[in-house]
Amino acid sequence: MKTIQRFATLTSIAILTVLLLLAAPGSSAARTKYISIGTGGTGGVYYPYGGGLAEIWTKHVKGVKAIAEVTGASVENTRLADRGETVIGEIMGDVAYQAYYGEGKFRGKPQKIKAMFMMYPNVYHVVTLADKKINSIQDLKGQRVSVGAPGSGTEFMTNLVLKSLGLTYSDFKVSRLSFVETANALKDHSIDVGIWCVAAPTSSIMDLATTHKIKIISFTPEEMKRITDAYGFYSPYVLPAGTYNNISKDILTPSVWNVVICSANLDEDLVYQLTKATFENQDYLIKIHPFAKHTTPQNAIEHAIIPYHPGAVKYFEEIGIKVPKKLGGTK
């Protein structure tokens, strides 16, 4: 028994010694900065895009180990970044604006976030099956509608878009489903309409369109004007015919830019290195999704929603991009 106890004690000491060595200053473990990236569900673009960022940062930023996490998307990612739980988040511009300035769902509680760069425009998809007698936004009344996952940018945008058109959740039966769940619910006819706000084409709608004839509801020019007049961060977008199977006409619909945000108190040099690595390896992101072609320094300024983190500003100004003072610029 004494021999066993002595062996156990020596083993514990050995393990503790290894852990202390790993944690000691100068060790590789102590130098590694672990970064979590809040993305979205697996049926959208946030998750693979975030996975691409994680690979780029882990490979090209010394001492960084990054990982993409499945989350409820924009609203959840904002709150996680504000609390410092996932220091990087992919979110929609409408969420970023209201979160930073403490408006809407964040009224009186501005979130401690800053922008790093703009990603690409998200396209609003209102999808139903071709045999449904649903041909306009007003036809949502009385239907079973998935408005997006809880805490997602899709649901956030749906609230604002429908409000500007005089519709509320009381006008239809609400479901809050992820992109994959929404596609499956349309397939088995447990809902009538599914809403996505995502880069196009997106895998979950493509999958749905291979087995079922779908239609995507087009907004009228008058509806688009009401939406953009109410919320300046939205803009019209024409989804080209042929983007999905059975979509033979162009679709007029709202869009909003996505932004990568970070905790406002994140280290300046770290944000600089992450931003630099992203733009120097944009070609890799484009291989993941063609919409990453929009991830450019020029678009970062042209479509900015909220001020930039000083680390991002440092990179932009270093490559000759002028950052206005209202966006955090120093000149």
- Asked if residue 46 belongs to a domain, the reply is yes
Q: What is the pLDDT of residues 215-256, one digit of tens each?
A: 999 999 999 999 999 999 999 999 999 999 999 999 999 999
The type of residue at 92 is M
Nearest-angstrom CA–CA distance, 46 and 38: 9
- Give the domain-ending residue among 204, 237, 256: 256
Same domain? For 274 and 250 the reply is no
Residues 79 and 133 in one domain: no
Q: Looking at the structure, do residues 150 and 221 belong to the same domain, yes or no?
A: yes
| pTM of this structure | 0.82
Structural domains counted in the chain: 2
**231 and 131 together in one domain:** yes
Residues 81 and 261: beta-carbon distance below 8 Å: yes
To the nearest 10 degrees (0 to 180), the angle between helices 153-164 and 221-230 is: 110
Query: Rounded to whole angstroms, how far apart are CA atoms 186 and 201?
Result: 18
Which of 256, 280, 298 delimits the end of a domain? 256
pLDDT digit string (tens) for the chain, length 331 residues: 444 444 443 443 344 334 334 444 454 445 899 999 999 988 889 999 999 999 999 999 999 999 999 999 999 999 999 999 999 999 999 999 999 999 999 999 999 999 999 999 999 999 999 999 999 999 999 999 999 999 888 999 999 999 999 999 999 999 999 999 999 999 999 999 999 999 899 999 999 999 999 999 999 999 999 999 999 999 999 999 999 999 999 999 999 999 999 999 999 999 999 999 999 999 999 999 899 999 999 999 999 999 999 999 999 999 999 999 999 998 7
The end-to-end CA distance of the chain, in Å, is 74
Out of 207, 241, 256, pick the residue that ends a domain: 256
Same domain membership, residue 225 and residue 167: yes
Question: Is residue 7 assigned to a domain?
Answer: no
* pLDDT recorded at residue 136: 98
CB contact at 8 A, 317 and 309 = no
In angstroms, rounded to a whole number, what is the distance separating the alpha carbons of residues 182 and 44? 12
- Identify the pLDDT of residue 279: 98
Check whether residue 135 and residue 99 sit in a common domain. Answer: no
Residue 285 is part of a domain; what is its CATH number?
3.40.190.10
Tell whether 57 and 161 lie within a shared domain.
no
Residue 314 lies in a domain: yes
- Structural contact between residues 206 and 214, judged by C-beta atoms closer than 8 angstroms: no
Shared domain check, 174 and 111: no
User: Among candidates 198, 61, 41, 63, which has minimal Cα distance to 116?
Assistant: 61
The predicted structure's pLDDT at residue 5: 42
Q: What is the pLDDT of residue 118?
A: 98
Whether 131 and 251 share a structural domain: yes
The C-alpha atoms of residue 286 and residue 266 are separated, in whole angstroms, by 27
Q: Which residues constitute the domain of residue 313?
A: 31-120+259-327
In a domain, 8, yes or no: no
